Amino acid sequence: MKSYRKELWFNVPGRRAFINITPQVEECLGESGVEEGLVLVNAMHITASVFINDDESGLHQDYETWLEQLAPHEPISRYHHNKTGEDNADAHIKRQVMGREVVVAITRGQLDFGPWEQIFYGEFDGGRRKRVLVKIIGE
């Protein structure tokens, strides 16, 4: 069995963004040489997410609106976590909703997606470097 590990680094200048990372994950898959197996992609920061969905700007805006309604950033005083001097409690909640990681099957050297599926990095507290782990195992 083969094993491959790589960290992808991101520095989103704004507070929030959704970035399609499918091309980077496909590049990792090519580097791994795995033809049949699994790829795990996970955000290694507790205010960021990795998820699978459609790469459609309207959907991304709907996510942004819905998440901000669910856990608004302001006023920061509404969250107990922010009493520690932080201002990112909303980002922790948004990450919890959107998820930590995805696992995708690898078949014949390709990500085995359904129609329209893509892998996204969701940033909810940007302005500094953060990483995503890509771990591939298989034959």
Tell me what pLDDT residue 95 has.
Answer: 97
Confidence of residue 26 (pLDDT cuts 50, 70, 90): very high
* pTM for the full predicted model: 0.95
Q: What is the pLDDT of residues 54-107, one digit of tens each?
A: 999 999 999 999 999 999 999 999 999 999 999 999 999 999 999 999 999 999
Strand order in the sheet with 118-123: 17-20, 118-123, 48-53
Tokens of 74: 């302001």
Q: Are 126 and 73 in contact (CB under 8 A)?
A: no
The CATH class that applies to domain 2-70+88-138 reads mainly beta
Whole-number mean pLDDT of the chain? 97
